[in-house]
Amino acid sequence: MRMILSIRSLFLFLTSLVILSAISAAQVGVGVFANFAPPELPVYEQPICPVDGYIWIPGYWAWDGDDYYWVPGTWVEPPAVGYLWTPGYWAWNGQGFIFSAGYWGPVVGFYGGVNYGFGYFGHGYEGGRWDHDHFYYNRSVNNINVTQIHNVYNTTVVNNTTNVTRVSYNGGNGGINTRPTPQEENAAHERHIGPTAAQTQHFAEARSNPQLKASANRGKPSIAATPKPAAFSDRSVVPAREGGRYLPPAENHEAQPRNSGGRPTTIVHPNDIPPAERSAPPNTGNPKLDQKYQQQQEKLYKQQEQGRQKLQQQQDAEHQKLEKQQADQARKQQSEQRHQQQTQQLMQKQTQQEQQLHKRQAPPPPPPHPAPAPPANKPPHEN
């Protein structure tokens, strides 16, 4: 009877593992879309490894629908013996930036060639290796207390990466130009598991922390790494020593996709709309009339800016509501599509307002010149 129960327990365990792997594989294929490039990677020190068996997960920039936010690097317990972490990465797809989520598996797959440091130098992992059921750390790239953790080795890693600017995305203008090897492509199709529960909590804590938003820290997060997941208040928390270049939509002229009119090809929220180009001051030759027209323009610009802010606040409230409801990815995508339609309608409305204003201010055409009078008929000359 005991053997039957053991076999049944083993069957249930293997079945749940297969289901979990399938779900995780599906999650890896779901991309998060951003319409401008993520900031460069900040420079920071690695906290000391807190527990034997934990593996380092590098920090990265994530997207919350409006802005990037920093997910601090941290030490994490792997979900199974023999599993390693493949970091997620951003890549340009011709229309915007798509994020491929990280995953656990027996082989490290492709992560965009991004140099996250601490063993993740663009391809593979040089920070440690499994030997049977024990993980051994490479001290040359990890911060290990050897008085507590004895399973260590020293292998010097020559970092030949050209990612000296700490670029955090693959492809596009200024991105890393590298492609996956056949082995890395195969790793993505082999069995793997998504982030653990501790990692998921870590992500959620980072997203809810306003200090970690790129618009707030300008690419230099005050919490760059933690000793354990979600331990943001731990005294061992490490701040960024040097920030990465951060270009918000209005400034990101290099990586932000734009059309021939100079506007981004993908504008989802009012904050994504570039600043309006001010028209030249009216010059009708009548100073009082020019002043009147200038006041009308300023009034319109102010009304349009208030309209953008109002719509942005409504969309922000919807984002917060979805977060509280823990909405799934499908609902979030539907919300983003609706926001994009609202923003496009607002842009069309404001463009029409500008055209109507310019039409009203256009000087009236000059009156047509009178046609010259025909010459008077003269009687024929008499001989």
pLDDT tens for 63-116 read 988 899 999 999 999 999 999 999 999 998 877 899 999 999 999 999 999 999
pTM exceeding 0.85: no
Q: What percent of the chain has pLDDT over 70?
A: 74
Q: Which residues make beta-bridge pairs with 70?
A: 61
pLDDT band at residue 165 under the 50/70/90 scheme:
low
Pairing relationship of beta strands 97-100 and 103-105 according to DSSP bridges:
unpaired
Residue pair 236/277 in contact (Cβ under 8 Å)? The answer is no
Model pLDDT, residue 58: 98
pLDDT, mean over the chain? 80
Tens-digit pLDDT profile for residues 1-27:
444 434 444 444 444 444 333 333 333
Q: What percent of the chain has pLDDT over 90?
A: 43
Count CA atoms closer than 13 A to 89's CA, side-chain side. 28
Tens-digit pLDDT profile for residues 218-276:
999 999 999 999 999 999 999 999 988 877 665 554 444 444 344 444 567 787 676 55
Domain locations along the chain: 22-226, 270-358
Q: Which residues make beta-bridge pairs with 60?
A: 71
